Amino acid sequence: MQLYLASSLETTGNHIANKIRLQGETLKVAFIYTAGEIEKDQAWIDDDRKGLTAAGVEIFNYTITGKKPAEIGRDLVGFNWIHVNGGNSFYFLFQAQQSGFDRFICRQVTNGVVYSGSSAGSYLAGPDIAVMQLLDHNPYAKQLKNTRGFGFVDFLTFPHWGSPIFRDDYFSQRLQLAYTKGHKIILLNDDQYVEVIDDNYKIIDITKD
């Protein structure tokens, strides 16, 4: 299993791409932007794309919205790197459950496909997204079959730590919900990502590496 879980690819994309390049993987990625497609301001999605293209990565833009399992398999089965970008985690999980992407991505990662995530995409790699409910206040939470994430890792990745934009969200909602013994949490700022290789993981800070 090979995962790269970040807050933002605008800052870490080049570093992550070089990690994958060193391991001999072809730098072509399926860039799943579904989680952000309902957001009014989508400039940050382009910023994340630029974080990869600056490293010479070829991007295939894709949404899972409205897709059927057969379409997901046909369109994405040839990629050895799949990236789930940020946005609304409940909206994405709803679309993943409807389209069968949740089952597809688990099979692919088990078979050696590289998974990367930024923001919501990193959070979804964990065991459950329930503690994000108030933060992501939206109707999709009620439409989910369950709130289970992809379960690639046993921790929750809280992105954008230290960012003034997310300060109120963290201290008024997110940390209160997560403050229990049942949650294993990693706080990531925008210059950090978690590299997961099989059962081992480490936090990489690109300002210090």
Residue 135 belongs to a domain: yes
Residue 81 belongs to a domain: yes
- pLDDT at 192 exceeding the cut of 90: yes
Residue 206 belongs to a domain: no
Q: What does the pLDDT average to over 107-132?
A: 92
Total domain count, the chain: 1
Q: Report the percentage of the chain scoring pLDDT > 90.
A: 58
Residue 99 belongs to a domain: yes
pLDDT at residue number 135: 54
Strands (E), 50-209: 58-62, 81-84, 114-118, 156-158, 185-187, 192-197, 200-205
Q: Which residue has the higher pLDDT, 202 or 175?
A: 202
- pLDDT at 93 exceeding the cut of 70: yes
pLDDT at residue number 144: 87
Most confident of 37-41, 87-91, 115-119: 115-119
Only one residue has tokens 């997204």, namely 129
Residue 204 belongs to a domain: no
- Going by their DSSP bridges, the two strands 156-158 and 185-187 should be labelled as parallel
The CATH number of the domain holding residue 7 is 3.40.50.880
Give the global pTM. Answer: 0.89
pLDDT at residue number 40: 77
- pLDDT at 83 exceeding the cut of 80: yes
Dmax (CA) for the chain in angstroms is 44
Nearest-5° Cα angle at 73, 41 to 107 = 95
Q: Which residue has the higher pLDDT, 35 or 25?
A: 35
Express each pLDDT in 122-150 by its tens digit. 999 999 888 776 555 567 777 888 999 99
pLDDT at residue number 30: 96
pLDDT at residue number 130: 83
Residue 207 belongs to a domain: no
Residue 209 belongs to a domain: no
For 15, residues 6+ apart whose C-beta sits below 8 A from its C-beta are 193, 204, 206, 209
Residue 97 belongs to a domain: yes
Only one residue has tokens 């399926």, namely 30
Strands (E), the chain: 2-6, 28-32, 58-62, 81-84, 114-118, 156-158, 185-187, 192-197, 200-205
pLDDT at residue number 164: 63
If you average pLDDT over every residue of the chain, what do you get?
A: 87
Q: Which domain holds residue 109?
A: 2-178+186-199
